[in-house]
């Protein structure tokens, strides 16, 4: 008997809020890896991933739609927008590390526009000026009542990642904040 | 809302990202079953709850996720300094107790803080 | 009515922009830019409210945020009724409807005015003294009476339809107050490129320059300089200027709370939020909050038409409104003279200037006399005449003597200026009393802030501008910026504190100190006579300064009168603490976005939509929505749950188990870590097998439980309870990071990576078999408590063979985005086998039939594995795990502990209440000796009777005994049993 292939149903697929200040868009599905690597193995893992894992706090590295985001001293979130099999790439790394597929755990949002930082600052207590949070900066932090990973992808563009069941809350909040943005 | 310096993120971050985790420098014995009732009581139940300087654990739970230690004044809420888990308890010899220090938020370098070498202390 | 008091050619508003509004049902015309106060005054309306305690007629005291009297209700619609709005702050818009408060039946004829005649009864501390006894009268008589009589305004009784916004902001320099000082400091700071935020509570920047016509800055009238400077600031990218924005609280590490009133001044707010809460973290805070004029304390100083001199100047110079046609002045300083000059030049008659000072000298006195104004020096106003509006003043020499009555229709007063040190004080700075000028000024600073201008006691305009520029420069680079020249013809120094002659200790008059709480000079003296020594006690006894205006005009007078009565200098009596908020803040602003769907996250599983389509009723489990039961046509909850529970045991049921916490534990020491975190042994668990694990806290009590699958030597898939997901992760990270640091292990939360479909029942294998690829699901290849990785419906799965029902069961884990599609495929197969969908209620019943505990229901943080009958899950040979030593505490190993048992009611149809207490014998005298309580209780369709689990002292020794559950209406007899009610052999698990 043939079994029909289950199709992926991403939450909030295609949703977008547009205001004069900012646009909030649900990002397309991506593959993601929660990566935990001790210092001695960082080089090997970087090589396997084809991207240098950043070791400075709040730093990220990015190449060809693949992003490595520093979350903690031995923790990275790797996002691949093309949906590549990230875990597979690490099969050759024998030294101790942990690579767990969290592609479906997270949902991404793109917040862009002149009011992007202000939209996020409606619920995020960090200083998002370019001096304190430059392009490429990344941080796990708070968005009102949920936890997010915040990644600045441009002067007026951020990627916000949260867990799947909080996506509705994040989108509703960001949409409300974008609408209320101070002119 | 206070700002707390995370020793792993190497910057001050808003208090909302942190969670308190109890008194610091209470080590769990590797020989737990050898503990007498009195020793277990001291380990698990008895806490200093001082008025003034306290060493306590915090977790940057909505940040880098690391547990770390802090020297804080329970009267003023002032964080005198924060340091990584596993680092020895610093000897803080002068704390300027009359100052409403959380509000002034002076740099640790302005305090008479003597950090012992990692070999000393536990 | 027409605006008969609007003066042609005066003020800055554009008369062509007419605005219609109403007050107490009467329609009036104002001008765009008016406040409700200026517009009413333009129409000759002074009477706007009744006082709190005595219901005395009250008008406008001020033209700003310090207003204690003119509090009105503003009604947009039935749900938008804002009480206690200061008419001096509220801007008018077309259609604004305002009503007076604290009066019945009308503002002009108020029954409550009788309180004024009975005022001896309402003297200071009267609440404390009057309602002492009989005690029984408190609930029925006193409290209802006080509640009815007290309070101002009426809150709306419908939900607030407006929305409120919030913002965290950061800047290098935050300037609080947009008068001359604030504008100048912002200009200097902004020049360096620093991030500057400048805020002011008014609709326009300028502060006192609104009325101070004598000021010239940079060759322009002060007001014009202010507008030009602010326009310049607005054009800079590094500067944010906020009008209608009040700094209400100054918190630790230069965090300042601001409320921006976004749309309260608009006729049609549209989609805009009503208010926005700003939490600004500033490198440096510059406090430029100015000074507030004080009134004179004399008899009947509260009559409508009696107001601050600066207020009358604001109404004239900014709004173009004369507060009267024949105006008197009562002052103890020079600054009020300017009010006389401005009004006189605008064509208003000045009845007299009554100057308390015996021999004031200077240009202003000469100028007054030159303008033909009568100046009575060394005189005091002893009382005012009139009822709903002042009609005359009685004037007498300070030393006493015959009084002369002078007709007036308004009286302007000034006893000097009080620096606004509120925010400085909130910053934990210490104020210091300046003897020379008799005022409190910023003393010792506690935070990185600086006070400038009038709030710092800087009195002359040129000095203010210099100080402001220096502060702005010092806050940033320190680079000098060219200052504009500033001069003023006005002098704000001097004045007096306390009661005027004629309102002294021997005078039985009502000379108000605190208008909003109706506190008189006499009340303050009485408080001291009755033993209050500290200003904090005087304040609480009299309520002086405790109203919503927080004593902005009254504190210093109150302090001076208390000090004089005590015979002590002012600094020895002390100043009361200034607390946030500076002015009242709406609950809406504080709540911000946290309402409706944003109050708290609502978490839904990937299969939520599927459950909805299939008629699920949901229950809240923490933040999660979980399918509770799936009623079919005509079924109530009881019937639906009965059907679901029987269906699962008859054939099969499908259940969404996605909310369980899941943690992936990876590393060569993963098994060792598991050994330390759980009571069970793990080292010998084969990859592909599962084990039920119990996690303890160090004290030996059960913390969480769940099934753990070993995927590989170095990889475990741990499940936790739904509610325990986050805290178990935290607990594990804590031990890994701080105690077991030698272990090579990493933890990752995968709760939301995997959606989980439980398929339970004798037919479960037939249901899933056609969908699974690459996994042999036979009982031999995949026995109870095992796990395999493979594919289902073409997508990756971690397939667990496990059961929380006592039946053969599977839990299908698939990546969350596939959850719903796989659920649909499983359900399509399930329907071929007479299976049902079941919810959390049936799940609870099924597990209770088997005696499986739920952490948090059977346990409460004081239950050990032994108490719960789970000793078998403790690795007997283990030498360490979290809780191993706690379990050996004397209290946990002694007898007499509550143990988990089953209860069967003697009458099988009676279902016990969860939480009910258990006693050994009925009919004991109260309080009965309680020996246990019911933890779970259900009607069990599969057993055809009620079942319950309970914690009972030495319960396992009592199996077979009868106990009793006393209820309010009866006593229920129960038999103690084992915890398994259905199929004790457990064979069905294995299929």
So where are chain C's domains?
Answer: 1-156, 164-291+419-488, 295-415, 504-567, 656-847, 852-990
| d(CA C168, nearest CA chain A) in Å | 5
Contacting A residues, span 122-181, partner chain C, CB-CB under 8 Å: 122-129, 132, 144-146, 163-166, 168-169, 172-173, 176-177, 179-180
Domain assignment of residue B119, yes or no = no
In this structure, are residues C961 and C930 in contact, taking their beta carbons and an 8 Å threshold?
no
C255: pLDDT strictly greater than 80: yes
C166: pLDDT strictly greater than 50: yes
Q: For C746-796, write each residue's pLDDT tens digit.
A: 999 999 999 999 999 999 999 999 999 999 999 999 999 999 999 999 999
Which tokens belong to C579?
Answer: 């607390």
Q: Smallest Cβ distance to A75: which of B16, B17, B65?
A: B65
Q: Secondary structure of C878-933 in the HEC alphabet?
A: CCCCCCCCHHHCHHHHCCCCEEEEEEEECCCCCCCCCCCEEECCCCCCCCCCEEEE
Q: What is the mean predicted confidence (pLDDT) over C391-398?
A: 97
Q: Which residues of chain B lie closer than 8 angstroms to A72, CB-CB?
A: 8, 63-66
pLDDT of residue C359: 93
Beta pairing partners, C74: C82, C98
Q: Best interface-test mutation with A: which of C166, C167, C196, C592 has the largest number of A CBs within 10 A?
A: C167
pLDDT of residue B107: 42
Q: Which segment, C295-304, C443-452, C479-488, is predicted with the most confidence on average?
A: C295-304
C917: pLDDT strictly greater than 60: yes
Chain-centroid distance of CA C583 in Å reads 15
Domain assignment of residue B32, yes or no = no
| Alpha-carbon gap, residue C160 to C78, rounded angstroms | 10
Chain-centroid distance of CA C120 in Å reads 39
| Alpha-carbon gap, residue C237 to C242, rounded angstroms | 14
| Alpha-carbon gap, residue C795 to A8, rounded angstroms | 9
B115: pLDDT strictly greater than 70: no
Q: Secondary structure of C649-705 in the HEC alphabet?
A: HHCCEEEECCCCEEEEEECCCHHHHHHHHECCCCCCCCCCEEEEEEEECCCCCEEEE
Percent of chain A with pLDDT over 90: 95
Give the dihedral of Cα atoms C653, C658, C659, C660; nearest 10 deg.
90
Taking alpha carbons only, the member of B66, B58, B42, B122 closest to residue B90 is: B122
Beta pairing partners, A63: A66
B34: pLDDT strictly greater than 70: yes
pLDDT of residue C128: 66
Which tokens belong to C977?
Answer: 């049993």
pLDDT of residue B110: 42
**Interface partners of A (3+ CB pairs, < 8 Å)?**
B, C
| d(CA A69, nearest CA chain C) in Å | 16
Q: Which of C99-113, C380-394, C429-443 has the lowest mean pLDDT?
A: C99-113
Taking alpha carbons only, the member of C32, C51, C177 closest to residue C110 is: C51
Q: Which residues of chain A lie closer than 8 angstroms to C818, CB-CB?
A: 6-9, 104
Domain assignment of residue B85, yes or no = yes
H or E stretch at C425? helix C422-426
pLDDT confidence band for B112 (50 / 70 / 90): very low
In this structure, are residues C794 and C773 in contact, taking their beta carbons and an 8 Å threshold?
yes
pLDDT of residue C130: 63
Q: Which residues of chain B lie closer than 8 angstroms to C663, CB-CB?
A: none
| d(CA B94, nearest CA chain C) in Å | 19
Q: Do B17 and A58 touch (CB under 8 A)?
A: no
Any chain B CB within 8 A of the CB of A127?
Answer: no
Contacting A residues, span 96-115, partner chain C, CB-CB under 8 Å: 96-98, 100-106
In this structure, are residues C593 and A176 in contact, taking their beta carbons and an 8 Å threshold?
yes
Q: Do B17 and A141 touch (CB under 8 A)?
A: yes
Q: A14-29+104-183 architecture in CATH?
A: 2-Layer Sandwich (3.30)
Any chain A CB within 8 A of the CB of C790?
Answer: no
H or E stretch at B74? none
Q: Do B32 and C884 touch (CB under 8 A)?
A: yes
* Distance linking the first and last C-alpha atoms of chain C: 91
Q: Smallest Cβ distance to C816: which of A104, A177, A179?
A: A104
Any chain C CB within 8 A of the CB of A39?
Answer: no
pLDDT of residue B26: 95
Taking alpha carbons only, the member of C287, C291, C289, C323 closest to residue C307 is: C323
| Alpha-carbon gap, residue C817 to A10, rounded angstroms | 5
Any chain B CB within 8 A of the CB of C430?
Answer: no
Chain-centroid distance of CA C394 in Å reads 48
| Alpha-carbon gap, residue C356 to C47, rounded angstroms | 27
Taking alpha carbons only, the member of C153, C240, C247, C148 closest to residue C200 is: C247
| d(CA A172, nearest CA chain B) in Å | 21
Token pair 């977008």 in the structure block, residue: A16
| Alpha-carbon gap, residue A47 to A57, rounded angstroms | 20
Q: Smallest Cβ distance to B8: which of A73, A126, A141?
A: A73
Q: Smallest Cβ distance to B64: which of A72, A126, A147?
A: A72
pLDDT confidence band for C147 (50 / 70 / 90): low
In this structure, are residues B107 and B75 in contact, taking their beta carbons and an 8 Å threshold?
no
Q: What is the mean predicted confidence (pLDDT) over B80-105?
A: 70
Q: Which residues of chain A lie closer than 8 angstroms to C601, CB-CB?
A: 145-146, 165-166, 168-169
Q: Smallest Cβ distance to A105: which of C668, C752, C820?
A: C752
Token pair 């000028």 in the structure block, residue: C437
Which tokens belong to A64?
Answer: 């060809």
Where does A19-97 show beta strands of DSSP type E?
A: 23-26, 31-36, 60-63, 66-72, 75-80
Q: Do B65 and A125 touch (CB under 8 A)?
A: no
Give the dihedral of Cα atoms A60, A63, A68, A69; nearest 10 deg.
30
Q: Which residues of chain A lie closer than 8 angstroms to C166, CB-CB?
A: 122-123
Tally of structural domains, chain B: 1
Whether domain C295-415 has CATH 3.50.50.60: the reply is yes
Which superfamily is assigned to A30-102 in CATH?
Answer: Heterotetrameric sarcosine oxidase (3.30.70.1520)
| Alpha-carbon gap, residue C651 to C966, rounded angstroms | 39
pLDDT greater at residue C53 or residue C243? C243
Which tokens belong to C896?
Answer: 């007499």
B102: pLDDT strictly greater than 50: no
Any chain B CB within 8 A of the CB of C734?
Answer: yes
In this structure, are residues C690 and C804 in contact, taking their beta carbons and an 8 Å threshold?
no
Strands of the sheet with C26-31, listed across from one edge: C26-31, C18-23, C96-99, C71-77, C80-86
Which CATH code, of 2.60.40.420, 3.30.1360.120, 3.40.50.300, 3.30.450.40, is assigned to C852-990?
Answer: 3.30.1360.120
Q: Is C144 exposed, middle or buried (0-12, 13-18, 19+ CB in 10 A)?
A: exposed
pLDDT of residue C548: 87
pLDDT of residue B103: 43
Whether domain C164-291+419-488 has CATH 3.50.50.60: the reply is yes
pLDDT confidence band for C103 (50 / 70 / 90): confident
Domain assignment of residue B120, yes or no = no
pLDDT of residue A3: 66
Q: What is the CA radius of gyration of chain A?
A: 17
Give the CATH fold of the C1-156 domain. Ubiquitin-like (UB roll) (3.10.20)
Q: Smallest Cβ distance to B8: which of A72, A139, A141?
A: A72
Q: Do A125 and B14 touch (CB under 8 A)?
A: yes
| d(CA C869, nearest CA chain B) in Å | 22
pLDDT confidence band for C931 (50 / 70 / 90): very high
Taking alpha carbons only, the member of C554, C471, C415 closest to residue C175 is: C471
| d(CA C600, nearest CA chain A) in Å | 7
- Nearest chain B residue to C250 by CA: give it: B103
Where does C721-763 show beta strands of DSSP type E?
A: 746-749, 754-760
pLDDT of residue B93: 63
Q: What is the mean predicted confidence (pLDDT) over C873-878?
A: 96
CATH code: domain C656-847 is 3.30.1360.120
Give the CATH fold of the C504-567 domain. Arc Repressor Mutant, subunit A (1.10.10)
Q: Which residues of chain B lie closer than 8 angstroms to C427, CB-CB?
A: 103
- For the four alpha carbons of C655, C656, C662 and C668, in that order, the dihedral sign comes to positive
Q: What angle do CA A13, A15, A19 make, to 5 degrees?
A: 165
Q: Do B103 and C255 touch (CB under 8 A)?
A: no
Q: Which residues of chain A lie closer than 8 angstroms to C822, CB-CB?
A: 6
> The domain containing residue B57 runs over which residues?
3-26+41-114
| Alpha-carbon gap, residue C778 to C791, rounded angstroms | 16
Return the domain boundaries, chain A. Answer: 14-29+104-183, 30-102
Please enumerate, as own/partner, the contacts of C878-881 that have beta carbons within 8 Å and a separation of 24 or more.
C878/C675, C878/C679, C878/C681, C879/B33, C880/B30, C880/B32, C880/B33, C880/C675, C880/C676, C881/C675, C881/C676, C881/C677, C881/C678, C881/C679, C881/C696
Q: Which of A59-73, B66-80, C229-243 has the lowest mean pLDDT?
A: B66-80
Taking alpha carbons only, the member of C213, C493, C211, C212 closest to residue C331 is: C493
Taking alpha carbons only, the member of C336, C337, C330, C168 closest to residue C257 is: C168
Q: Do B9 and A57 touch (CB under 8 A)?
A: yes
Q: What is the mean predicted confidence (pLDDT) over C626-644?
A: 98
Same fold across C1-156 and C164-291+419-488: no
Q: Tell me the DSSP string of C807-853.
A: SSEEEEEEEGGGHHHHHHHHHHHHHTTT-EE--HHHHHHHHHHTT--
Domain assignment of residue B121, yes or no = no
Backbone angles phi, psi at A152, to 5 degrees: -85, 115
Backbone angles phi, psi at A5, to 5 degrees: -70, 130
| d(CA B46, nearest CA chain C) in Å | 13
Q: Smallest Cβ distance to A58: which of B1, B9, B17?
A: B9
Q: Which of A119-128, C157-166, C877-886 has the lowest mean pLDDT?
A: C157-166
**Interface partners of B (3+ CB pairs, < 8 Å)?**
A, C
| Alpha-carbon gap, residue C408 to C826, rounded angstroms | 90
Q: What integer best gives the mean pLDDT of chain C?
A: 94
Taking alpha carbons only, the member of C355, C400, C398, C405 closest to residue C384 is: C405
pLDDT of residue C126: 64
Q: Smallest Cβ distance to C794: which of A5, A100, A177?
A: A5
H or E stretch at C554? none
Which residues of B touch chain C, with CB atoms under 8 Å apart? 1-3, 14, 19, 21, 27-28, 30, 32-33, 35, 37, 40, 44, 57, 59, 61, 65-67, 77, 85-86, 100, 102-105
| Three-state DSSP class for residue C341 | helix
C297: pLDDT strictly greater than 60: yes
H or E stretch at C140? none
Any chain B CB within 8 A of the CB of A57?
Answer: yes
pLDDT of residue C478: 76
Per-residue pLDDT of chain A (183 residues; tens, 9 = 90+): 456 799 999 999 999 999 999 999 999 999 999 999 999 999 999 999 999 999 999 999 999 999 999 999 999 999 999 999 999 999 999 999 999 999 999 999 999 999 999 999 999 999 999 999 999 999 999 999 999 999 999 999 999 999 999 999 999 999 999 999 755
Return the half-sphere exposure (C-beta side, CA atoms, 13 A cut-off) of residue C315: 35
C579: pLDDT strictly greater than 90: no
Token pair 């509640």 in the structure block, residue: C147
Q: Do B103 and C253 touch (CB under 8 A)?
A: yes
User: How many contacts does A have with B, using Cβ atoms within 8 A?
Assistant: 41
Beta pairing partners, B69: B57, B83
CB atoms within 10 A of CB C620: 12
Q: Smallest Cβ distance to A147: which of B8, B62, B66?
A: B62
Which tokens belong to C806?
Answer: 């006592």
In this structure, are residues C679 and C865 in contact, taking their beta carbons and an 8 Å threshold?
yes
pLDDT of residue B75: 84
Any chain B CB within 8 A of the CB of A74?
Answer: no
């Amino acid at each position: 008997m043939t079994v029909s292939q289950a199709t992926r149903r991403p939450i909030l697929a295609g949703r977008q809020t547009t205001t004069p200040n900012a646009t909030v868009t649900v990002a397309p599905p991506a593959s993601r890896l929660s990566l935990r690597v001790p210092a001695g193995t960082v080089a090997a893992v970087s090589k396997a991933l084809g991207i240098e894992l950043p070791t400075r706090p709040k730093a990220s590295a990015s190449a060809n739609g693949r992003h490595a985001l520093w979350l903690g001293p031995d923790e990275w979130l790797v996002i691949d927008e093309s949906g590549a099999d990230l875990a597979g790439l690490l099969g050759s790394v024998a030294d101790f590390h942990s690579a767990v597929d969290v592609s479906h755990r997270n949902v991404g949002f793109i917040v862009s526009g002149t009011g992007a930082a202000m939209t996020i600052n409606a619920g995020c207590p960090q200083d998002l000026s370019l001096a304190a949070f430059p392009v490429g900066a990344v941080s796990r932090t708070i968005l009102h009542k949920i936890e997010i990973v915040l990644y600045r992808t441009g002067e007026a563009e951020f990627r916000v990642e949260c867990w799947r069941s909080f996506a509705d809350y994040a989108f509703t909040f960001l949409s409300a904040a974008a609408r209320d943005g101070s002119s | 809302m206070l700002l707390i310096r995370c020793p792993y993120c190497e910057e001050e971050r808003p208090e909302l990202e942190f969670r308190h985790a109890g008194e610091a420098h209470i080590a769990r014995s590797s020989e737990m079953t050898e503990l007498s009732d009195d020793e277990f009581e001291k380990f698990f139940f008895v806490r200093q709850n001082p008025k003034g300087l306290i060493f306590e654990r915090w977790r940057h739970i909505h940040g880098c996720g690391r547990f770390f230690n802090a020297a804080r004044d329970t009267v003023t809420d002032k964080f005198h300094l924060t340091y990584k888990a596993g680092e020895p308890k610093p000897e803080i010899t002068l704390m300027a107790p009359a100052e409403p220090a959380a509000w002034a938020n002076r740099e640790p370098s302005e305090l008479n803080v003597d950090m012992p070498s990692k070999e000393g202390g536990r | 009515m027409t605006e008969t008091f609007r003066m042609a050619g005066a003020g800055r508003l554009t008369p062509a922009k007419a605005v219609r509004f109403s007050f107490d049902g009467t329609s009036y015309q104002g001008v765009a830019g008016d406040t409700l106060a200026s517009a009413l005054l333009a129409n000759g309306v002074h009477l706007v409210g009744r006082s709190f305690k005595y219901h005395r007629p009250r008008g406008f005291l001020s033209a700003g945020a310090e207003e204690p009297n003119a509090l009105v209700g503003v009604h947009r619609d039935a749900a938008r009724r804002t009480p206690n709005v200061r008419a001096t702050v509220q801007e008018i818009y077309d259609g604004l409807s305002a009503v007076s408060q604290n009066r019945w039946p009308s503002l002009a004829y108020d029954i409550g005015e009788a309180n004024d005649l009975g005022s001896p009864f309402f003297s200071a501390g009267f609440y404390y003294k009057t309602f002492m006894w009989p005690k029984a009268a408190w609930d029925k008589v006193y409290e209802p009476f006080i509640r009815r009589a007290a309070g101002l305004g009426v809150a709306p009784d419908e939900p607030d339809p407006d929305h409120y916004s919030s913002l965290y902001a950061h800047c290098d320099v935050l300037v609080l107050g947009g008068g001359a000082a604030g504008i100048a400091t912002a200009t200097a700071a902004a020049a360096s490129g620093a991030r500057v935020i400048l805020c002011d509570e008014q609709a326009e920047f300028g502060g006192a320059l609104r009325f101070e016509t004598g000021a010239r800055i940079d060759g322009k009238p002060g007001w014009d300089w202010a507008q030009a400077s602010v326009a310049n600031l607005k054009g800079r990218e590094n500067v944010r200027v906020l009008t209608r924005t009040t700094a209400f609280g100054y918190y630790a590490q230069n965090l300042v709370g601001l409320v921006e009133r976004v749309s309260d001044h608009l006729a049609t707010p549209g989609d805009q939020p009503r208010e926005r809460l700003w939490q600004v973290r500033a490198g440096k805070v510059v406090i430029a909050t100015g000074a507030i004029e004080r009134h004179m304390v004399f008899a009947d100083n509260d009559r409508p038409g009696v107001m601050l001199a600066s207020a009358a100047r604001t109404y004239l110079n900014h709004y173009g409104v004369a507060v009267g046609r024949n105006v008197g002045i009562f002052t103890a300083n020079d600054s009020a003279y300017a009010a006389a000059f401005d009004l006189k030049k605008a064509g208003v008659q000045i009845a007299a200037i009554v100057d308390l000072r015996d021999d004031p000298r200077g240009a202003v006195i000469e100028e007054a006399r030159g303008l033909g104004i009568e100046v009575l020096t060394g005189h005091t106003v002893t009382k005012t005449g009139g009822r709903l509006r002042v009609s005359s003043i009685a004037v007498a020499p300070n030393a006493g003597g015959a009084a002369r009555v002078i007709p007036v229709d308004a009286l302007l007063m000034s006893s000097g200026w009080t620096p606004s040190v509120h925010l400085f004080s909130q910053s934990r700075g210490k104020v210091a009393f300046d003897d020379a000028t008799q005022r409190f000024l910023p003393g010792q600073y506690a935070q990185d802030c600086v006070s400038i201008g009038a709030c710092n006691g800087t009195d002359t305009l040129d000095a203010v501008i210099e100080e402001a520029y220096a502060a702005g420069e010092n806050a940033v680079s320190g680079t000098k910026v060219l200052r504009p020249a500033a001069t003023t013809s006005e002098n704000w120094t001097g004045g007096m504190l306390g009661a005027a002659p004629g309102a002294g200790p021997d005078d039985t008059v009502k000379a108000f100190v605190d208008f909003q709480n109706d506190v008189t000079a006499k009340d303050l003296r009485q408080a001291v006579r009755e033993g209050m020594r500290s200003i904090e006690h005087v304040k609480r006894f009299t309520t002086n300064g405790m109203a919503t205006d927080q004593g902005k005009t009254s504190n210093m007078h109150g302090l001076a009168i208390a000090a004089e009565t005590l015979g002590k200098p002012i600094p020895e009596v002390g100043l009361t603490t200034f607390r946030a908020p500076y002015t009242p803040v709406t609950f809406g602003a504080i709540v911000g976005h946290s309402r409706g769907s944003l109050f708290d996250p609502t978490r839904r599983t990937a299969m939520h939509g599927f459950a909805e389509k299939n008629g699920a009723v949901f229950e809240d489990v923490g933040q999660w929505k979980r399918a509770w039961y799936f009623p079919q046509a005509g079924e109530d909850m009881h019937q639906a749950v009965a059907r679901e529970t029987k269906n699962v045991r008859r054939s099969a049921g499908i259940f969404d188990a996605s909310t369980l916490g899941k943690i992936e534990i990876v590393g060569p020491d993963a098994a060792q870590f598991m050994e330390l975190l759980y009571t069970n042994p793990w080292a010998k668990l084969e990859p592909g097998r599962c084990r039920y694990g119990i996690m303890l806290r160090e004290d030996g009590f059960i913390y969480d439980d769940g099934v753990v699958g070993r995927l590989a030597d170095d990889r475990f898939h741990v499940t936790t309870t739904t509610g325990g997901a986050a805290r178990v992760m935290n607990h594990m990270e804590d031990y890994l990071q701080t105690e077991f640091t030698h272990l090579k292990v990493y933890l990752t939360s995968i709760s939301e990576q995997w959606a989980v479909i439980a398929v339970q029942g004798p037919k479960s294998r037939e249901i899933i078999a056609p969908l699974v690829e690459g996994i042999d699901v036979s009982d031999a290849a995949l026995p109870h408590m095992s796990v395999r990785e493979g594919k289902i419906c073409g997508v990756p799965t971690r397939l667990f063979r496990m059961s929380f029902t006592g039946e053969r069961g599977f839990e299908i884990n698939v990546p969350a985005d596939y959850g719903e599609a796989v659920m649909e495929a499983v359900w399509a197969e399930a329907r071929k086998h007479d299976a049902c969908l079941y919810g959390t209620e049936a799940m609870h019943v099924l597990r209770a039939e088997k005696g499986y505990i739920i952490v948090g229901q059977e346990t409460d943080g004081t239950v050990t594995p032994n108490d719960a009958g789970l000793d078998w899950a403790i690795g007997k040979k283990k030498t360490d795990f979290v809780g191993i030593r706690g379990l050996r505490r004397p209290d946990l190993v002694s007898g007499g502990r509550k143990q988990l048992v089953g209860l069967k009611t003697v009458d099988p149809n009676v279902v016990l209440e969860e939480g009910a207490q258990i006693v050994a014998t009925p009919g004991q005298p109260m309080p009965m000796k309680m020996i246990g309580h019911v933890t779970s209780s259900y009607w069990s369709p599969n057993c055809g009777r009620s079942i319950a689990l309970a914690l009972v002292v030495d319960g396992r020794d009592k199996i077979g005994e009868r106990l009793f559950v006393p209820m309010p209406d009866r006593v229920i007899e129960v038999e103690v049993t084992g915890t398994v009610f259905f199929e004790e052999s457990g064979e069905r698990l294995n299929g």
